[in-house]
Amino acid sequence: MDKRQEDLLKAIVETYVKTVKPVGSKSLCQKFKLSSATIRNEMAVLESLGYIEKNHISSGRIPSESGYRYYVEHLMEPEKLTGSDMLKLQSIVKNQDLVLSDAISKCMEIISDLTNYASVILGSNAEDNLLKQVSIIPIDNNKIVALVCTNKGVVENKQFQLEQQTDLKELIKTSEIINKMLTGTPINEVASRLEFEIKPIIAEQMVDYERIYHIFYNALSDFATQDNDDIRVVGRAKVLEQPEYHDADTIKKLAYKLEDQKFIKHVVKDRDNDEVKIYIGEDSEVDPNTTVIKRKYDINGECGTVAIIGPKRMEYARVMGLLDYVLNEMKKKDEK
């Protein structure tokens, strides 16, 4: 591909992203100061290379998946934020009260608003968390809340119904033992250490140890096993508005997938370990017309993943610009 062909591909992608209509040769004459015939010739080359395709013989061209990929990898120029985009994000960035994860979460909501794509926010996974503290809060005679807090500040709570005889004091004592012995344990190892280290101890000291063990086991193992990284998807309904999803059936299927947290987690997180990854079209596994842009971050130990889910015909440059901006600002803020 020579320069002119690259320019042409770029123009086709960008026009298509804007108009959502197949791009005809005529519409590009002005821009290139060439006749439509010449452009048609060049288009034929791009088509033979697989970068663009046409729906029907007599339709304009649309970028193919590899066309988008080429665009993203070689042609796209990261876009500066517009003033209003920046303004909206800064209201969050400047807020000193927000802890990092909340700030990122809020920014992603705004990005979803600005772009009409869906945002996914995935907190650090539970496996990285270490047990910080467990507490028992009695609610009334036979109800308690068991709280588990990790070193990353993730808190999980669970209520338990007590049978009459279970002794609150023993529960609290056990929580103290756990805090003394297990603080700092990776959260996914806690359950087994609970069984092999804590259970024998309380078995000696307490009558009702089985029941007590049961409660802590439940509170703690739930936390670790059940895919418990807190995942949020915002702006689901917005993506459905994108014009490529005009067909009722497609919309339903997409709505289904966007609601399925396990699936989204799989899409956004489990597939590879790259820091930035753009899954275009079929690669997204969501829908052939959909793109997923994923970004992992690690800001001074706080890590997580964010992603944008939108149409294949996405404003790639803008989205990348927005994500860059947010994560950079967060890093800056953290350094201060």
Partner DNA sequence: TCTAGCACTCTTCTTTTTCAAGTGCTAACA
Partner DNA sequence: TGTTAGCACTTGAAAAAGAAGAGTGCTAGA
**Non-local CB neighbours of 318 within 8 Å, separated by 6+ positions:** 79, 115
Among the residue ranges 32-40, 100-108, 193-201, 262-270, the one whose residues contact DNA (CB under 7 A): 32-40
Among the residue ranges 12-20, 45-53, 182-190, 245-253, the one whose residues contact a copy of itself (CB under 8 A): 245-253
By a kind-dependent CB cut-off of 5 to 8 A, residue 241 interacts, out of DNA, a copy of itself, none, with: a copy of itself
Distance CA 321, CA 323 (A): 6
Distance of CA 261 to the CA centre of its chain: 11
Out of 1, 11, 34, 172, the only residue in the binding site for DNA (CB under 7 A) is 34
Upper half-sphere CA count for residue 47 (Cβ side, 13 Å): 15
Can you give the three-state secondary structure of 42-84, one letter per residue? HHHHHHHCCCEEECCCCCCEEECHHHHHHHHHHHCCCCCCCHH
By a kind-dependent CB cut-off of 5 to 8 A, residue 34 interacts, out of DNA, a copy of itself, none, with: DNA
Angle (CA) 274 276 277, round 5°: 80
For the CB of residue 31, give the shortest distance to a copy of itself in the complex, in Å: 33
58 vs 164 by CB, closer to DNA: 58
61 binds DNA (CB under 7 A): yes
27 binds DNA (CB under 7 A): yes
Compute CA distances 290 → 138, 323, 332, whole Å: 49, 18, 32
For the CB of residue 74, give the shortest distance to DNA in the complex, in Å: 22
49 binds DNA (CB under 7 A): no
197 binds DNA (CB under 7 A): no
Out of 8, 17, 43, 118, the only residue in the binding site for DNA (CB under 7 A) is 43
Among the residue ranges 52-60, 128-136, 170-178, 185-193, the one whose residues contact a copy of itself (CB under 8 A): 128-136
Among the residue ranges 8-16, 78-86, 99-107, 182-190, the one whose residues contact a copy of itself (CB under 8 A): 99-107
Q: Kindly give the pairing relationship between strand 302-311 and strand 290-299.
A: antiparallel
Out of 97, 164, 204, 335, the only residue in the binding site for a copy of itself (CB under 8 A) is 97
Among the residue ranges 69-77, 83-91, 109-117, 141-149, the one whose residues contact a copy of itself (CB under 8 A): 141-149
Burial letters for 169-185: b for 16+ Cβ neighbours within 10 Å, e otherwise? ebbebbbebbeeebeeb
41 binds DNA (CB under 7 A): yes
Q: Residue 79 CB: number of other CB atoms within 10 A? A: 17
Region of 80 (left: φ > 0; alpha: ψ -120 to 50; beta: rest) is beta
Compute CA distances 188 → 130, 193, 196, 213, 217, whole Å: 9, 10, 14, 17, 12
By a kind-dependent CB cut-off of 5 to 8 A, residue 37 interacts, out of a copy of itself, DNA, none, with: DNA
168 binds a copy of itself (CB under 8 A): no
168 vs 237 by CB, closer to a copy of itself: 237
143 binds a copy of itself (CB under 8 A): yes
Out of 20, 44, 139, 203, the only residue in the binding site for DNA (CB under 7 A) is 44
